[in-house]
Amino acid sequence: MDGVKRLDRIGIIFWGFGLALIAALLALDIANASGRPGFSINGQSLWGRDFVNLWSAGRLVIEGKTPLIYDVEAYQAWQRAALGSGIDNHNYSYPPVSLLYAPLFGALPYLAALALWLLLSATLFAMAARPWLARLGMPSWIALVLPSTLLCLWAGHYGLIVGALWLFAWHWLEEKPLRAGAAIGLMLVKPHLAILLPVLLARRGAWRAFAAATATVVMLVTASIIAFGPGLWRTYVESTSRLQLALVEEPHTLFGLMMPTPAPALYALGLSQPMVWITQGLIVLAVVALLLWRQPADRYRAGAAAAVATFLVLPYGFNYDLTVVGIAALMLLADASRSERRTDAAVAGVALALPPAMMFLGVVDFRPAPFVLAALFWLLLRPQEPVESAASESR
Residue 81 contacts residue 39 (beta carbons within 8 Å): no
The answer to whether residue 208 sits within a structural domain is: yes
Of 30-39, 275-284, 297-306, 307-316, minimum mean pLDDT range: 30-39
Nearest to 204 by CA among 118, 303, 59: 303
The answer to whether residue 46 sits within a structural domain is: no
More confident residue, 103 or 82: 103
- Three-class SS of residue 340? coil
Grade residue 42 by pLDDT with cuts at 50, 70 and 90.
very low
Side-chain-side CA neighbours of residue 153 (13 Å): 23
Nearest to 377 by CA among 321, 281, 310, 277: 310
Residue 351 is part of which domain span? 2-34+118-381
Mean pLDDT on 146-154:
93
CA dist list (Å): 388 to 39, 132, 393: 49, 12, 10
The answer to whether residue 196 sits within a structural domain is: yes
The answer to whether residue 44 sits within a structural domain is: no
More confident residue, 383 or 165: 165
pLDDT of residue 394: 42
What would the pLDDT profile of 104-131 be if each residue is shown by its tens digit?
999 998 888 999 999 999 999 999 999 9
Percent of the chain predicted with pLDDT > 70 = 90
Across the chain, mean pLDDT equals: 89
pTM for the full model? Answer: 0.92
Where would I find the H helices in 136-272? 147-155, 159-172, 177-186, 197-204, 207-228, 231-235, 241-246, 254-257, 262-268
Phi-psi region of 2 (alpha: psi -120 to 50; beta: other; left: phi over 0): alpha
The answer to whether residue 199 sits within a structural domain is: yes
Grade residue 384 by pLDDT with cuts at 50, 70 and 90.
low
pLDDT of residue 34: 55
pLDDT of residue 46: 54
Does position 242 have pLDDT exceeding 50, yes or no? yes
CA distance linking residue 211 with residue 57, whole number of Å: 31
Residue 9, Cβ neighbours under 10 Å: how many?
A: 11
pLDDT of residue 39: 44
The answer to whether residue 146 sits within a structural domain is: yes
The answer to whether residue 41 sits within a structural domain is: no
* Structural domain count, the chain: 1
The answer to whether residue 49 sits within a structural domain is: no
CA distance linking residue 68 with residue 52, whole number of Å: 15
